[in-house]
Structure 1
Amino acid sequence: MARKVLISLFLIFGIYYVFFINSIDPSVVMLFKLIPMLLLITLAFMTKLPTKLPYHWLISIGLIFCAIGDYTLQWFIVGLCFFLIGHIFYIFAFRTTNNAKPPLFVQILLGAYGLFMVVWIAGSVFKGGETILAIAVVAYMMVIFLMGLTSFRTGSPFAITGALLFIASDSVLAINKFMFDVAYSHQLIMFTYYGAQFFFMLSIVQYFNIRNKVVQ
């Protein structure tokens, strides 16, 4: 019952922040942005499983670092660093699993898209003379695409969906920040972002069930 209530609150606050941000007082915008993540962190930690797997804790810690990244993204590189750490925890979580391998076509598509984004986005930042920022962007992009690739190891549709949504969210964010204004960028970025984190949280139980079937 409590889990259903928290999920309902996540959906309510998430949708409100994504689609009605203009009605929120600027002094509490950051609070409204963080509430959905705090609810997901609570859901992750209150998830009761017969056996606590490293996957559970690593995903939960990743959610915490991403929530800190949410707040500190107003100082872009600081926020980027916290998100980077969050993704590293997600990668560690995925690497504790070995239930499947990413299909070759997925490896090719993600690799090609990642290379394109690095050349396009980071190349533009380098040309602007912001070397440190460009290096940070390259590092972040490499990590997030590695996160996307390793998510396939879980065999969990929720984990894979979350990873792909995160890549989509960060792609729109990068294009909007460094290349050109994207129409409805806030809605696109935050809807896919909250969706990604929601699916990561759900993957905790799903992966446990997948692992148990494999073990049995």
Structure 2
Amino acid sequence: MNTIPPDRRFALLFALVTGLELVGDLAPIRWLHYISKPLIVGLLLAWSWRHRRVGGLPMTILRISLVFALLGDVFLMIREVDLFGLGLASFLIMQLGYCVVFRMRGAGQSVSLPTAGLLALPFVVYAGIFLLILQPTFRTTPALNGLWTPVVVYIVCISTMGLLAALRRGQPGYGPVLIGALLFMASDSAIAVNAFLTPFAGATVFIMSTYAAAQYLIVTHIHPTQ
């Protein structure tokens, strides 16, 4: 079972929209930021809808997941009101959806149990170390107390998503989807570091570029042709 190759014109359009989002956010040009950021996932949702006749239930779940990603982008884009909790919840639902899609699209089918254990190790280590790094900040900052449990759940979920992508070894689109999952983890890790530990130069460019690339690679390489 092969996957649908992304159209080159679509790839260029997606790259253009991502570039406009970075310009809008950095300049800042608020109207450009508010239009281009939702378009990143919006374009992928439209691409997936265009190929809705293939893929069945897993791709329906993928599109539902993208809707929650779109909501998460909108919630986190609005800075006049603190909607971080809603954004986190939206992306958590998206991550759960991606986990289901990866499992339905072959995760674990071509991997032995010992190999699965080895593949799981770096993701377990990542989650454990990252939570240990974040915990002191959450423990000593009263305003963050209510977010600790959701953050723990989210990090466990995104680590599971990365593992399930790794367990798709031998399946169509394996390499790009795995790279996309790892980029997603890198993007979300950078968000946490920038928000809860220490802001760093270039955070916006790194976070948005890795996020956009992650979504593009996952969505355009997980679709079956039949």
TM-score range, shorter chain: 0.7 to 0.9
> Are the structure 2 counterparts of residues 48 and 76 from structure 1 closer, same or farther at C-alpha, using a change threshold of 3 Å?
closer
Aligned to 1:82: 90
Q: Is 2:187–2:210's contact at 8 Å kept on the other side of the alignment?
A: yes
CA distance in 2, matches of 1:63, 1:158: 18
Which structure 2 segments of 5+ residues have no match? 1-5
TM-score (norm. length: structure 2): 0.82
Of the three residues 64, 69, 73, the one matched with 2:72 is 69
**Which is bigger in relative contact order (C-alpha 8 A, separation at least 6)?**
2
Counterparts of 1:48 and 1:59 in 2: how far apart (Å)? 11
Structure 1 position 110, deviation (Å): 1.3
Superposed displacement of residue 84, structure 1: 0.3
Q: Which residue of 1 aligns with 2:3?
A: none
- Counterpart of 1:37 in structure 2 is 41
- Residue equivalent to 2:150: 136
Q: Kindly, what percent of the aligned residue pairs are identical?
A: 24
Could you say which residue in structure 2 is the equivalent of 1:100?
Answer: 110
Task: Name the Cα RMSD after superposition.
Answer: 2.2
CA distance in 1, matches of 2:168, 2:141: 39
List structure 1 runs of 4+ shifted beyond 6 angstroms. none
Where is the helix percentage greater, Structure 1 or Structure 2? 1
Residues 123 and 134 in structure 1, CA contact (< 8 A), matched pair in contact too: no
Deviations 1:35-90 (A, max 9, x none): 121111111111266x4333222222212211110011241011000000000100
Q: Specify the code of the residue in structure 1 equivalent to 2:167.
A: R
Q: Give a deviation string over 1:130-177, Cα, whole Å, max 9, x none.
A: 321111111111111111111123331122111101000000100000
Which of 131, 135, 149 pairs up with 1:118? Answer: 131
Compare 134-143 and 96-105 and name the one that shifted more. 96-105
Q: Return the match for 1:174 from 181, 187, 192.
A: 192
Cα deviation for residue 180 of structure 1 reads: 0.4
Q: List aligned pairs for 1:175-190, cutoff 5 A.
A: 175-190=193-208
Q: Does 2:160 correspond to 1:146?
A: yes
Gaps of 5+ in 1: none
Contact 1:77 1:133 in 2 (8 A): yes
Q: Which residue of 1 aligns with 2:15?
A: 11
Instruction: Specify whether residues 79 and 143 from structure 1 end up closer, same or farther in structure 2 by C-alpha distance, changes over 3 A only.
Output: same
What letter matches 1:135 in structure 2?
T
* Structure 1 stretch displaced more, 83-92 or 116-125: 116-125
CA 1:150–1:199 in 2, change beyond 3 Å: closer, same or farther? same
